[in-house]
Structure 1
């Protein structure tokens, strides 16, 4: 098992370019003390995959991307204590290491969860990154505690994407918050209602006017995309001493006008813990295992909406093309690479 197949890219650019993604042969990863070697049986595509492939050229050779993964543990590092060979796991990886678009993948056990028993590998892979992001955003960035929030409102801007789909569910199932989600098309409005949103408003129309019509002034805002476009509206519509959490990449934000309302701002990036090896990075193991239990109990529902049988350069390019439209509802997933 010295060599393995993987899919990567050699130069940044559009997905329409020939050889935008190619199959490569590369050494099977060597393990650090806390690492698991996972045989990858399922992956998914996130906006992060597309942004990196389009904008960041690899420094030496081909770069393997892909963050979400699910599979079977084949080997363990010298200090691994949470898992053993044969365990079925799911996780969202570390942006500073090679990705999951490969036959085998090395990942730190502290950011890995037990795979939901009720899901196959691709579907489980589709739940990892978005669940971590939504969980950290709600319970850590916004600081909402489970079982609290009654009488308060959470506005989710961009409710039908992968993170929004699970954030709606976490807020509705584990807190008392009333959830308003933005969605602009009939199919996305139907989707956020299926996920449990109490109210749906259109982010292509005035958020302020629509919330005033509902007589709602949210204490919490989760801005998942187009934060720079919606920022003036957010400052106007939010309650004094409210809290805004963001996950996208606005060019610049002038938060000075927010002083009058004494607002709090937070960034959420699920890669921060593994990237900086924070002392509490095991929190991701715990929350993923908790989410798996909630999925198996039927308390949370899958957000996967499309599935490719196998991971090939062709299927991955197609998934990237779909992701780049910005119109993906929920999550799209792929099976593993073919093993000889």
Structure 2
């Protein structure tokens, strides 16, 4: 492998198999794979823990055939570096969310571009750290790149899908780094308790969203973050102020945004893979972002959102984690370590 100091040429990867149900014992299988030559900016990371995100579930469900190496969250230790790497050295502890155009993190050794990698928080172990990168990047970019919030920003933010991984980080960042009032959606008592513990000012039941929000903010909300847009566009139009902004992270089918026009409401998309997918000029901002979140974690400003750790970074552990996330009732993040 060019640019490395290791003689290791293979590793074990844990691959999802198409055409399998999650209760099939071979939904994931272990395979020995060749480690690719490192690109100039690549790190080779020994993976200690991964988490499972909705994108993993969508990717597995959309596989037409064959196998795929999933996983887009990892915490581990740098084992080797490419020739142009400047931010890390062998032995550094790192965390990152990977690149959807490359093989995922479900492997013992994984190659990733240093520009989308951060230094792991020193106060977290690998499982607690692995819960955060993808969701922290998504939450940060939603608040500070899409909404362009500052420490002086005020108003009301509605978080739809608040108990999930992204919502759980976004609430913390919004409350600690801005002056926003946060309304979170949750349906179950344990979900409500969770989002309140993260700093949400108010909680409404997503099954009666319009009524709940209008009782709290009769003049409307300024901002909406949504992980669940399907069937909610008219509701968003009803509960948002004129010139409000909405950021969505889901994949709604046949989306009709016309109800938002009368109030000149702005619709943003957020996909944290965009920088890596298109090798944007500011790609390193993702690594800088993770370093900043690590500082917030180490200062006690942000906490890990891990709620379940499954021991055994192997095929069975990943199958069990996918089963929990696919059920759609998970609070916080599911980690395999």
Taking structure 1 as the reference length, what is the TM-score of the superposition? Answer: 0.94
Question: Hey, what's the Cα distance between the residues in 2 that align with 1:211 and 1:51?
Answer: 30
1:97-176 map, 5 Å = 97-145=102-150, 147-150=151-154, 152-176=155-179
1:39-54 map, 5 Å = 39-54=46-61
Correspondence 1:87 to 2:92: yes
Question: Hey, what's the Cα distance between the residues in 2 that align with 1:13 and 1:239?
Answer: 46
Question: Does the 8 A contact of 1:70 with 1:89 survive in 2?
Answer: yes
Correspondence 1:62 to 2:64: no
Taking structure 2 as the reference length, what is the TM-score of the superposition? Answer: 0.95
1:282-293 map, 5 Å = 282-293=284-295
Correspondence 1:2 to 2:5: no
Question: Hey, what's the Cα distance between the residues in 1 that align with 2:204 and 2:23?
Answer: 34
Question: Does the 8 A contact of 2:20 with 2:26 survive in 1?
Answer: no
Correspondence 1:219 to 2:222: yes
Using the TM superposition, give the Cα deviation of residue 148 of structure 1 relative to its aligned residue in structure 2, in angstroms: 2.1
Correspondence 1:255 to 2:257: yes
Question: Does the 8 A contact of 2:142 with 2:247 survive in 1?
Answer: yes
User: CA offsets per residue over residues 239-284 of structure 1, 9 Å max, x none?
Assistant: 1000000000100211122121011110000011100001111111
Instruction: Count residues in correspondence.
Output: 329
Using the TM superposition, give the Cα deviation of residue 116 of structure 1 relative to its aligned residue in structure 2, in angstroms: 0.4
Instruction: Please give the root-mean-square deviation of Cα atoms over the aligned residues, in Å.
Output: 1.1
Question: Hey, what's the Cα distance between the residues in 1 that align with 2:254 and 2:38?
Answer: 39
Question: Hey, what's the Cα distance between the residues in 2 that align with 1:318 and 1:251?
Answer: 29
- CA 1:190–1:100 in structure 2 vs 1: closer, same or farther (change >3 Å)? same
Question: Hey, what's the Cα distance between the residues in 1 that align with 2:58 and 2:258?
Answer: 29
Question: Hey, what's the Cα distance between the residues in 1 that align with 2:24 and 2:147?
Answer: 40
Question: Does the 8 A contact of 1:12 with 1:53 survive in 2?
Answer: no
Question: Hey, what's the Cα distance between the residues in 1 that align with 2:104 and 2:115?
Answer: 17
Match of 1:308 among 304, 307, 310: 310
**Residue of structure 2 equivalent to 1:241:** 243
Using the TM superposition, give the Cα deviation of residue 14 of structure 1 relative to its aligned residue in structure 2, in angstroms: 2.8
Question: Does the 8 A contact of 1:42 with 1:70 survive in 2?
Answer: yes
Tell me the SS of whatever aligns to 1:254: coil
Correspondence 1:194 to 2:194: no
Tell me the SS of whatever aligns to 1:288: helix
Question: Does the 8 A contact of 2:52 with 2:333 survive in 1?
Answer: yes
Runs of 4+ that moved beyond 6 A: none
Question: Hey, what's the Cα distance between the residues in 2 that align with 1:215 and 1:272?
Answer: 34
Using the TM superposition, give the Cα deviation of residue 46 of structure 1 relative to its aligned residue in structure 2, in angstroms: 0.5
Tell me the SS of whatever aligns to 1:316: helix
User: CA offsets per residue over residues 209-235 of structure 1, 9 Å max, x none?
Assistant: 11221234211000112x012211001
Match of 1:29 among 24, 30, 36: 36
Match of 1:78 among 74, 83, 86: 83
Question: Hey, what's the Cα distance between the residues in 2 that align with 1:65 and 1:211?
Answer: 37
Question: Does the 8 A contact of 1:29 with 1:105 survive in 2?
Answer: no
Question: Does the 8 A contact of 2:159 with 2:167 survive in 1?
Answer: yes
**Residue of structure 2 equivalent to 1:338:** none
User: CA offsets per residue over residues 183-209 of structure 1, 9 Å max, x none?
Assistant: 00000000000010000000011x221
| Structure 2: runs of 5 or more not aligned | 1-7
Using the TM superposition, give the Cα deviation of residue 54 of structure 1 relative to its aligned residue in structure 2, in angstroms: 1.4
